[in-house]
Amino acid sequence: MFKELIFKSIIKTLNKYNNVVIVSHANPDGDAMGSSLALYLFAKKIGCNANVIIPNDYPMFLSWMPNIDDVIIFDKNTDKALTIMSEADLFCFLDFNTPSRTGVMHNELCRYNKIPHILIDHHLGADESAFEACLSETEISSTSELVAQLINNQGFDNYLDKDIATNLLVGIITDTGSFAHSVFDSTFDICAKLLSTSINYKEIHQNIYDTSSENRLRLLGYLINDRMTILNEYNTAYIYASKSDLESYNYQVGDTEGVVNYPLSINSIRMSVLITERQGVIRLSFRSKGDFSVNDLARKHFNGGGHLNAAGGTLTCSLEQAIQKLIDILPEYKDLLNK
């Protein structure tokens, strides 16, 4: 369907229903939060009774985002979340397309499969048929960019106020690594529009990147110095962080965000992996340079997915076993990693 028609059908769907529940993925990042909060503020402006529910907590460095205190965190405020979900007449899924990415909310959400759903997302592999309206595009910076286009292109540009624009810009800045990758002509076009509201770009950037604790920076130094292995044969680097590593630096949610990018600054490195021991599971983050697809690798071996150059996954095993699994599968990718 033409994008214009999809925009129209999303607006029409939002207008048709009253109790709108916006849901994003577990371990939400800047784009999950920014796109959800912007759509939430917009939906309220057009008369919906909207709520945002996320599976678990957001990173500390996003806690300043406009209206973030309105967000309901499912694993902290389960009763409230369940009540709101039971009253929903429309669900909007933002920044994910694999239902299991809603983590602790997944089982509960399955009970509402018959309620209409909207999808707005920029990951590969969306099942468009499952949605009343589906805005799924991969050649775009972020879900926030899609939400910005939705608002801007449908005659609602006067609704793009400072709070909505700030939330959207957070999503675009974080998902592009400060405009380092996944940037398209359309990204700069929409950012120019967002900047034309009275937002303070410098302040937003500083709020995201210059508010770390001392512990967070020292954890980064420790992980690079003591926990990084370079596998030259595969042009690959991996970093691991055990539970006790994180505890000794008083880990706060979001503290390892961005760590996976650092090994890519080495000229020869094509793929970087961060393996983190979390409560009961091992989380893996993958990044690559060029056309090596970490999405394929994460899908095939790590129950995950994402994009060509940025993906994630999970394993339920020990940290040692997860590292071994990565090492074991690398020969399969040797040629691609040496191209």
Residue ranges that bind ligand 5GP, judged by CB under 6 A: 29, 98, 101, 285, 304-307, 310-314
CB of 322 to ligand 5GP, least distance (A): 14
x-marked contacts with Mn ion along 83-122 as a string, rule CB under 5 A: ------------x---------------------------
Tracing tokens 């775009």 back to the chain, one arrives at 140
- C-alpha to C-alpha distance for 95 and 98, rounded to whole angstroms: 10
Residue 250 tokens, joined: 């008083």
Nearer Cβ to Mn ion, position 42 or 96?
Answer: 96
Phi, psi at 223, each rounded to 5°: -65, -40
Select the binding partner of residue 144 from Mn ion, ligand 5GP, none (C-beta < 5 to 8 A, by kind).
Answer: none
Nearer Cβ to Mn ion, position 170 or 239?
Answer: 170
Select the binding partner of residue 34 from ligand 5GP, Mn ion, none (C-beta < 5 to 8 A, by kind).
Answer: none
Among residue numbers 165 through 204, which ones bind Mn ion (CB under 5 A)? 175
Three-class HEC string of 21-35: EEEECCCCCHHHHHH
CB of 286 to ligand 5GP, least distance (A): 7
- C-alpha to C-alpha distance for 90 and 339, rounded to whole angstroms: 47
Phi, psi at 311, each rounded to 5°: -150, 170
Nearer Cβ to ligand 5GP, position 117 or 122?
Answer: 122
- Other CB atoms within a 10 A radius of the CB of residue 320 amount to 11
CB of 192 to ligand 5GP, least distance (A): 24
The beta strand positions in 95-200, using DSSP E, are: 117-121, 133-136
The closest of 35, 39, 61, 63 to 51, measured between CA atoms, is 39
CB of 319 to ligand 5GP, least distance (A): 17
Report the interface residues with Mn ion, using CB under 5 A.
31, 95, 142-143, 175
